């Protein structure tokens, strides 16, 4: 069963609507413009509930207005949102685009040999579904979920926090709700969309040895290369809790 739109923040609602109902990129963009254009105090109640394309047509007939969203405007792609955020905060980076690479194996075909450590990112939930964790580690390393559970348990209990219990991969719905992302494009830059700072980030301790790191800019058709120190500055600005995991 799909979660209702009211459970998402406004920026995430647009992404959910696009992912659920539309496949054409042009139509997705148009619907996003229509929905946000009508999103003011006079917007109809159905904007807060499950929405259909027919209802979106009713929004169109009500006219459009320009509305700013946190860290982005609605006509920005996910990649542009990330790059704009980094530029606004004077965080140095380089980026390049390439064909789609939803898996590490696919992405390796397009990554440049720039000396950076390319990272793999997985989004997990605890057994109760009330805690979510983003885990980043070296793309060439394997990650055993059971071992990770023990490492997370030790890390959390050392700070007097409850152990996460059994971990599992979070659903696409949860990924969209908390990170505003789709499977295949998971990245720490999704924390830009986590307005409530719900997601805790775990970074593998081996990443501390890297001079530069590489991540998707929330789109698997691009790569952002960023110095580790500048990446940590990004994390301090975005505000989510994070730690390196031994």
Tell me the pLDDT tens digit for each residue of 156-214.
788 887 777 788 999 999 999 999 999 888 999 999 999 999 999 999 999 999 999 99
Q: Per mean pLDDT, which of 3-17, 30-44, 107-121 is the most reliable?
A: 107-121
What are the distances in angstroms from CA 229 to CA 29, 92, 210, 226? 35, 10, 10, 8
Instruction: Quickly count: other Cβ atoms within 10 Å of residue 168's Cβ.
Output: 11
| Distance in angstroms (rounded) separating the CA atoms of residues 176 and 26 | 20
Tell me the pLDDT tens digit for each residue of 88-133.
999 999 998 888 777 777 777 777 777 788 888 999 999 889 999 9
């Amino acid at each position: 069963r799909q979660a209702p739109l009211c459970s998402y923040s406004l920026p995430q609602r647009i992404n959910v609507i696009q992912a659920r109902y539309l496949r054409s990129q042009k139509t997705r963009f148009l619907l996003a413009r229509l929905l946000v254009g009508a999103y003011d105090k006079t917007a109809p109640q159905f904007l807060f509930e499950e929405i259909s394309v027919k209802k979106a047509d009713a929004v169109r007939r009500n006219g459009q207005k320009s509305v700013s969203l946190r860290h982005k405007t609605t006509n920005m792609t996910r990649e542009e949102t990330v790059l704009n955020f980094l530029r606004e905060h004077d965080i140095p980076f380089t980026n390049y685009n390439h064909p789609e690479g939803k898996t590490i194996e696919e992405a390796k075909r397009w990554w440049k040999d720039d000396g950076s450590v390319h990272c793999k990112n997985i989004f997990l939930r605890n057994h109760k579904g009330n805690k979510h964790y983003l885990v980043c580690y070296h793309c060439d390393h394997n990650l055993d979920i059971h071992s990770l559970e023990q490492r997370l348990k030790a890390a959390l209990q050392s700070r007097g926090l409850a152990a996460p219990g059994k971990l599992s991969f979070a659903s696409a719905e949860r990924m969209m709700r908390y990170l505003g992302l789709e499977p295949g494009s998971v990245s720490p830059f999704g924390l830009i969309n986590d307005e409530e700072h719900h997601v805790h980030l775990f970074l593998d301790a081996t990443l501390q040895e890297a001079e530069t790191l590489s991540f998707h800019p929330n789109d698997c058709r691009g790569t952002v290369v960023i110095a580790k120190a500048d990446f940590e500055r990004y994390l301090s600005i975005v505000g989510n809790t994070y730690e390196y995991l031994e």
